Chains A and B, each alone.
Chain A
């Protein structure tokens, strides 16, 4: 018999509030493009809104905020390795771009 946290039920108001917040964040994300933000500000806003939305979806909608740490860490830490992959691939792409620019320019 699996023993697990019974405290998974929350007042529905919490979900409705987070749901509204997700709509707001999505609108803000869209406005970043609509109002043609550029450069570092654009990237910062896009990433911030994206991470906030992801955080609320994982934490509240997927209940992660109320799960035991063993499960939370087992799921949320491995993607950290992916950040390493992304970093390595960015370095490689940059190098490829450099060599293409040098050797294939007309």
Chain B
């Protein structure tokens, strides 16, 4: 599955599971990746737990309420050019986030090629898409609040809908917003030449991990909250 690295002591294993045993028996470190990358992965693991707990709570209240749950395709529909299109804003938001993941993956790729300008530009493009996403989410919130959706009640159905929606999309939106700031900061550092000075573009990949996680969470929110 992965390349085996030469160590100081034992002969290099080539099989996947053998590397597993080797790594966990290593005397210095288990994860043979840059420290920042391992730390980001562990942080994302913890964040996975947080979002899963929120989505599980949502599942729990939706399953246990005797009131009808609002129908997402109706609640989140927009009337465009006279036609009522279900979930169109959410679909656009999903495409925006997928686009941003693509630009991020390309940024990481150019980071490995040590292309300063392309890497920074693609990271800024990613941040821009993220900003668009947050703007649309803010519009969605405004529209729903205007229509009477509150954390404790709403005109569409079960009263738990509002708090589930605002908690889950709110936490996700904050993650996206932090990501935009994070991306912009790293893009600036890359453009300034910090990575060329250290001769490594690791921070680009680490930022990429965070951003792909944000997209990943949206994949689950989209499926469980909007489509279900």
Name the A residues within 8 Å of B102 (CB-CB).
15-16, 19, 22
Name the B residues within 8 Å of A89 (CB-CB).
56-57, 59-60
In the complex formed, the residue of B with least CB distance to A47 is B223
Name the B residues within 8 Å of A41 (CB-CB).
none
Nearest CB of chain B from residue A7's CB, rounded to whole Å: 5
Query: Does A40 belong to the interface (CB within 8 Å)?
Result: no
Number of residue pairs spanning A and B whose beta carbons lie under 8 angstroms apart: 179
Query: Does B142 belong to the interface (CB within 8 Å)?
Result: no
Q: In the complex, are the beta carbons of A68 and B19 less than 8 A apart?
A: yes
Q: In the complex, are the beta carbons of B223 and A33 less than 8 A apart?
A: no
Q: In the complex, are the beta carbons of B64 and A97 less than 8 A apart?
A: yes
Among the listed stretches B26-34, B132-140, B168-176, which one makes contact with chain A, having 4 or more residues with CB under 8 Å of it?
B26-34
Q: In the complex, are the beta carbons of A71 and B109 less than 8 A apart?
A: no
Q: In the complex, are the beta carbons of A46 and B216 less than 8 A apart?
A: no
Please provide the chain B residues from 74 to 127 with a CB less than 8 Å away from any CB of chain A in the complex.
86-87, 91, 94-95, 98, 101-102, 104-106, 109, 112-113
Name the A residues within 8 Å of B10 (CB-CB).
none
Q: In the complex, are the beta carbons of B3 and A79 less than 8 A apart?
A: no
Name the B residues within 8 Å of A63 (CB-CB).
205
In the complex formed, the residue of B with least CB distance to A15 is B105
Nearest CB of chain A from residue B171's CB, rounded to whole Å: 16
Name the B residues within 8 Å of A57 (CB-CB).
101, 212, 215-216, 219
Q: Contacts A8-B205, A33-B73: A26 and B56 contacting too (C-beta < 8 A)?
A: no
Name the B residues within 8 Å of A93 (CB-CB).
59-64
Q: In the complex, are the beta carbons of A4 and B33 less than 8 A apart?
A: yes
Nearest CB of chain B from residue A22's CB, rounded to whole Å: 5
Interface size for B (C-beta < 8 A) is 66
CA distance A46 to B221 in the complex (A): 12
Query: Does B145 belong to the interface (CB within 8 Å)?
Result: no
Name the A residues within 8 Å of B178 (CB-CB).
none
Q: In the complex, are the beta carbons of A9 and B112 less than 8 A apart?
A: yes
CA distance A23 to B219 in the complex (A): 12
Q: In the complex, are the beta carbons of B52 and A85 less than 8 A apart?
A: yes
Name the B residues within 8 Å of A68 (CB-CB).
2, 19-20, 23, 31-33
In the complex formed, the residue of A with least CB distance to B37 is A4
Query: Does B48 belong to the interface (CB within 8 Å)?
Result: yes
Closest 6 CB pairs of A and B: A93-B63, A70-B23, A96-B64, A50-B223, A19-B102, A9-B112
* B residues neighboring A (CB under 8 Å): 1-3, 5-6, 16-17, 19-20, 23-24, 30-35, 38, 41-42, 44-45, 48-49, 52-53, 56-57, 59-66, 72-73, 86-87, 91, 94-95, 98, 101-102, 104-106, 109, 112-113, 205, 208-209, 212-213, 215-216, 219-220, 222-223, 226-228
* A residues neighboring B (CB under 8 Å): 2-10, 12, 15-16, 18-19, 22-23, 26, 29-30, 32-34, 43, 46-47, 49-50, 53-54, 57-58, 60-63, 65-75, 78-79, 82, 85-86, 89-90, 92-94, 96-97, 100-101, 104-105
